[in-house]
Amino acid sequence: MHLTGGQEQIRALVPTRGERDILGLADRLQVAVLAIDRLGCSRGRPVEWRRTIVRGDRFGVSASFPRREGFQLTNAQLRKGVR
């Protein structure tokens, strides 16, 4: 099966204790993470859903708008030394 479309929503949220532990943030109570919810479709029907939780201090996004291909979103490279 091949995805033919879909959408992603990225939003900030306060992580649960379990999420902080998994992400190595157990000692940082006042930290936000990013939740990425993805819905993948094949021929207009939903076939995939996932939620990814990422540390806000290790995430970057860049976007480009080529005319023919449409909107594209890619991960930005992080600066060296950012943890």
The pLDDT tens digits for 10-66 are: 999 999 999 999 999 988 778 899 999 999 999 899 999 999 999 988 888 777 776
Report if pTM > 0.95: no
In a domain, 83, yes or no: no
Residue 69: partners with Cβ closer than 8 Å, 6 or more residues away: none
In a domain, 80, yes or no: no
How far is residue 81's CA from residue 13's CA, in Å, rounded to a whole number? 24
In a domain, 35, yes or no: yes
Domain count along the chain:
1
Q: How confident is the model at residue 69 (pLDDT cuts 50, 70, 90)?
A: low
Task: Write down the pLDDT at residue 66.
Answer: 67
How many secondary structure helices (H) and strands (E) does the chain include? Answer: 1, 5
Show the domain range for 23: 5-75
